[in-house]
Structure 1
């Protein structure tokens, strides 16, 4: 019978060991056991999961641990650990960097507890926790809070917070300044309402009630006037915010931001007058202008505006006709834009309009309300632009930090963050993306790569200086040349660059806040111009047009004379050059026939080379003469049966076709509009090339086919004859092919992709083909891959 009493200590030990192993497996930390007597260290599986080391691959001694501690931390960590052991203390902990298996370092929090035996530590057991992510999160939070504080200060925004329960209000310093610094006793809802202009008070109260109503929960966005509490100064404010509700539907917080817009409101009349002065410039740019009197609903518009909306400059435009021309699917876009314009005064939307001929066109509408002294809208003026050819899709903003994203999205000015020395674009708001005109593709790119047009302008140098010195920079009415809508344009901005610093005082990013003042600057410039200047410009333009017309007429005369002289020169040169070549060939033949027995092999070889070179030169002169004669007038065109041309060419190439053993497949071909002799040259060169450039190891096949060109395909081609239908003729072979990177090269004079030893020819054939096609107001191109044949594609007109 076994004595279970004696086995109880052993059982307890086994149970404790089993529990330790279970804990080591269950925890997400790295568990270690250091046997001080034996000098061995045991690690649990967390060592592999967290740091990438398999426990069985790690050396058993403590150096396997200490050697992986960062060199800058190693000495102090090891000394502190041995000090605890030597003093017999019960626990040890430290923060240091530990090397992962991939060579990177993790920030860890390590804790150990000693096990005593015989009055001294015999083991130390502990756990190591990876706190790298926690440290990064703490650092990001600190930087985000710093960015938030600066953004509020740089944007000159007032913040407010209203407690719906007791109606007490909390305003920051800027917001107090906007209200004329009211007394502490007036810092509640009823007190602050008294400082709102009497004509605006009811509208503000209604907006607050709608925002606090659980059934409505409207966004608070309103413009109104305040009369300062202490300075009695009249100010225009633009306030935005929202209410927050608990699960029962009761509001527990109502907060937002306020911005002074006094200068914007007071400048409306000047801007309206400047808009009228800019009307000529607008029309000259291709945009149409309009103005709507809101009281009578009468619309005044330019002929260009009527054309952009309806397709006809003579259309009788009313607001009803304008609405009827709007695409049904875009009605909501327009309605939403007008609803927003009633609040912020700016009309901006893009929508489709249906012309009188039923075609659909994209139009961008930009407008601005004009207000009277009491803040009532009296008219709407603006411009429309046809953007059918350049409409672009924009994506919604994606940002990395929630607090900064909320602030930037609600900011009434264009805002973006440039991170690091390379100024990588991060968190641009919608206004800034519109300023740049590049879309969301710029996010994550260095500023100089995303906006290459900034090279040579001062902004990149200013940002680099701010990153180095940490000194902020601001400027009013600064000029910026940006590529917007595919063209370089000039804009003017009030902007501020503010460096953001981390906890160490180092600049890690720069916040860019900009306000587009282009219209104000341009308006000011136009106001400074006199009527005399316009007359001078008109006179100068007329003089230059006349000068250019005379120069163009003279250039045309010189071009005609040059072409006539060139044809005469080419004819004379070809005959004068052919004569010595014929003598070279004649005397060469006589030498071969008379003195061939007296010449050694080398002499006969060189004489044959002379004969071959003279023949090639003669052929090249003939090709050049043919190329120079390729001029065709419209009166020389007639209906040409393309199949007859092809069969005539095949008869001429019969010997070459038999020698190359080529199968020629000719489908039914149509009648085209052109010159039969030039078309014969075209087909002979294309077919002979297809026969010549064959793969020697396979049967050579050449196919000729065609199809009618559709309107959509025609729109992608260079300018063709507008009143002729076109065919697409294809000459397809299964020969050696070519790389399409040489596509432009093969149609140039004397361009060869292969040596004369491989394939004969003058290098003029395809250039001649291109000249014939151009004479016929057509287009030629090719598709090919090396070793997979080639397809030469020719677009030719047909009779009307």
Structure 2
């Protein structure tokens, strides 16, 4: 903004008042540089953000320029003076600004010149600390880089298709999966020709369902592509989804692609091996045998001979049978025969070495036959070649170990949920850290291990995936998890991938998650900050206008209040005192003229009238003194407290002598205040100390002070931040009081003792509190009954 100084004086004052209100309302550091006087003013936010108290900063522009980072200083200063010399209207820059602790903050600073007769005479502006935003941007960038690294490590390709013009964008990995097509060939119609003809229709249908606003299906399809340049056929697994505007029109279609050629090949090999094993079993069947235990003669089928030795023509004997057993499995056979002797059932699995040296797994099932005396006479049973099954189990075990290794080494949080109950299996360390539960959750159903998921969408989504076999992913999803015994909110990008067996049935779900809590919170905070900024911008002018009207109304009410107070003071000092003076005058004349005509009771009542009128006159005088305690800052000056104490002691000399009081006064300082009111303060404190003495002991009073340290000052309310303070103490050895009544003694008309014991109106200490408040100070006391009292007063000193 560019302003002039040619407007009327009142308008300028109003503009200055508005500027101060804006300086208080904003969280930015506001500065005002008077180019003619060479002074720079800073608002209070300078201390809040950078740790500098505005009153402690040098007044010239060096207070600004010397705190700019040396590497930025010359550039910033030259640009500022360039704007001033050219008479331009504004300046803005980003640079580093030194905090009070020596560290540097990144700030965005902008200033606007105020001109008079075409010449800049003033520059005002605001400085914003943008360090938190830069740190958030850096964290977001690091998170994005980590995500890119994770996707690179997982060999994932990303793609994005514009539904409007059907042009596609692939990252480098995705281009590799399609054989690196040229940029001119990145249109959908051209890319579709790279899909295997047998799969092309299925892919087209899946895309159509995903882009249909009525269906909005998740895109999840496996198909073959023929490389654009290398001609290599690859199996791809592509997942993604379309994004729709409010009218239901798709504006983006994106997802990821992963090569699954090796997985498909392995599955085909395993399926082929399983098929071959099934054909072998079906063709050969099981071999049967019977052993006559008396002669050890073996009756067997040719299939049994082939299963044991590899040849149907083998002359099978017990010795040949034992010799064919793998040496390492002899203990297995012996243990099985010992158990069979007890229960009559023979059952074991062992390896047998064929005549050609090959090793085969055989399952032996048998049963003893007994005679009428219970003696075993024969053993009959069957043998089955289970080599294929064992090898399949071993391959499955190897694949499972491979899967466990992949999950454990995955760069993102990963876990496997097995079965309809979603039993937690092989979660990696990153996932255990996400859940905050430790490895005790392994083997438990997910809803049991993490009961806080009840009522959240994840369990229902997993159940649906298990039923339908359709993968699911979500970005920035909210999850409420109990971590460290406390329910906390996090945000994740996650994917649920169903795993299927050879029959196409889902047997487990793979969960992969990336913690994006910081990014989501940063985005939410940025959105809230932008909304607050918009609201403040729209409401600022209304608030300034409203506040100006309120201040104007308050000034009118204050003037009326002061006028009423003056009228009350006049009435109290004239109209109210006049009847009292007549009462006192006539009662005195009655006493002097007709004293002889009154009996003792009449004299007593006349004395009571005179005492009551004196007390009321004193109370009116005290109330007048209290009501007149209105002091403006302009009436403050440096006051020698020692002179005031000396004056007060001189006024109270008669009372001091009558009460035989010894008063000790230390050297007193100079304070900042109003001399007349400080005199009232000291007179009330000293007269109270004289009045409330113990009759049985000599009265002593001490008046002393000390300087107040910053730590003590910080504990006291409503002190001037730019003034030093002294602690004044008036101590006596009088009757004291119970500190339970500490707040009560400073209130109007409050007394702890009856009038018959000690005279007074009950206003003195209230007047002391009012004087101290007028001086931006603080008053309190310490005492115990019978042990004297110490009244403590905090007063400011001149700057």
Normalised by the size of structure 1, how large is the TM-score?
0.40
- Based on CA coordinates, which of the two structures has the bigger radius of gyration? 2
TM-score by structure 2 length? 0.40
